Structure 1
Amino acid sequence: MSTNRRSLTSVNPLVETRDVIAMKEKTGNLYESIAVVSRRANQISVTMKEELHRKLDEFTVHGDNLEEVHENKEQIEISRIYERMANAPLQALTEFNDDQIYYRKK
């Protein structure tokens, strides 16, 4: 599968009906198409999670007092940006429909 990524914010976050016949025509089998999209969605999900944790770790303060909680406006804004993004399956499906995923049969 390809790692060619679109801008994460350019995918419509709203769910809409899809043409399953068109999905089937890309691989010859609807279930195979769904499996390709599913694997790519897992890749996107892992990548997004790693990026978010890496960005939030920049704000982590390693101190002795665990009771102190510091809320950082930048940290909250980063979290909100990721919440507004389309979820991984929608991103993967958009990439699949736009022929941006490379897949092959074993």
Structure 2
Amino acid sequence: MDLKKIDAPLTTTTYNRNAVDAPTGNIYEAISIISRRAEQINSEIKKELIEKLEEFATYNDSLEEVFENKEQIEVSKFYEKLPKPHALAVKEWLDSKIYYRNTEEDNQK
């Protein structure tokens, strides 16, 4: 996921209910799919952030000394300014970039 090319909204946005539930025909199913994708996005972003912060980590034995690393601060600020995972998931859903399938329909065939 390229976080620099994301065009999801940073603030709360009202979406057309009919556009959200159009692919599934059920608003609850659509929200369930979007929430699962938001959880995936959140874990990806968290993993990426931890990896980047580990690059700049300094380890010391003294608990009294706290070092502020400018690189770590800049990385943290970048991730704080990103849209929330649920906004990214809704954007992907509305752009038809999320693959989903109904396992109950697959079992009936």
4+ runs of 1 displaced by more than 4 Å? none
CA offset digits 1:52-94 (Å, max 9, x no partner): 1111111212221122111011111111111110000000000
> Hey, what does 1:82 align to over in structure 2?
79
> Hey, what does 2:47 align to over in structure 1?
50
**Normalised TM-score (structure 1):** 0.89
- Over 3 Å counting, the alpha-carbon distance change for 1:101 and 1:42 in structure 2 is same
Identity %: 42
Aligned partner of 1:12 among 9, 13, 21 = 9
> Hey, what does 2:106 align to over in structure 1?
none
In 2, Cα distance between the equivalents of 1:60 and 1:67?
16
In 2, Cα distance between the equivalents of 1:23 and 1:29?
9
In 2, Cα distance between the equivalents of 1:89 and 1:44?
8
* Structure showing greater relative contact order (alpha-carbon pairs closer than 8 Å, 6 or more residues apart): 1
- Over 3 Å counting, the alpha-carbon distance change for 1:77 and 1:90 in structure 2 is same
- Over 3 Å counting, the alpha-carbon distance change for 1:30 and 1:14 in structure 2 is same
In 1, Cα distance between the equivalents of 2:2 and 2:34?
15
| CA positional deviation for 1:6 | 5.4
In 1, Cα distance between the equivalents of 2:54 and 2:11?
29
Q: What is the aligned length?
A: 102
Unmatched 5+ stretches in structure 1 = none
In 1, Cα distance between the equivalents of 2:22 and 2:53?
41
> Hey, what does 1:63 align to over in structure 2?
60
1:29 aligned to 2:32? no
Unmatched 5+ stretches in structure 2 = 104-109
CA RMSD of aligned residues (A): 1.3
